[in-house]
Amino acid sequence: MIGCGWMNKKNMLLIIIIILSNLSLCGCMDQGLTTEPAFEKIIIESDVVELSIANISFTREEMYTDAGESYFYTTAVEVKYLFHNLLDRRANISFFVEFYNSYNEKLFSIGPRSILLTADYTEKAFTNVNEARYDGDRASEVDYVKIIAFEF
């Protein structure tokens, strides 16, 4: 009987270790090894700021073909972003927001815009400076957005 109790404790301990090991590994595959935030369809080119938060939204309307079949058509693209100052000092940042299609052709550009950031500051709220919208004739072609930021 003593051997059976020890085997149950040993098996339970082994099961607990396996469960804890699996739980500790959850999410590792999703996160990868990068420390940089990745934002789908938003690229930043800068050595003075990085994106702390960014998202892109596509406004779609239901349209109909001559045959009466429905499809969705993108009528506008909006991007929102917050910067983190990488410099160890106050900096005047100037930036452009550019909308591109899948052939890397620039469809539309907004800017230059500017913002003053204090040393190692991360923006906390969206303002009209942190939002860009394209609702032109070629909005349906937008594949990604590029933000180009530099110090002036």
Q: Based on the domain organization, do 16 and 81 belong to the same domain?
A: no
Task: Inform me whether the pLDDT recorded for 123 exceeds 80.
Answer: yes
CA nearest neighbour of 43 among 81, 77, 78, 76: 81
CATH of the domain at 63: 2.60.40.3230
Please give the residue that has the higher pLDDT: either 25 or 130.
Answer: 130
> Over pLDDT 90: what percentage of the chain?
59
pTM over 0.75, yes/no:
no
In a domain, 34, yes or no: no
Q: Based on the domain organization, do 20 and 66 belong to the same domain?
A: no
- List b or e across 76-108, with b for residues whose CB sees 16 or more CB atoms inside 10 angstroms: bbbbbbbbebebeeebebebbbbbbeeeeeebb
Domain total of the chain: 2
Instruction: Reduce the DSSP state of residue 127 to 3 states and report it.
Output: coil
* Boundaries of domain holding 24: 2-28
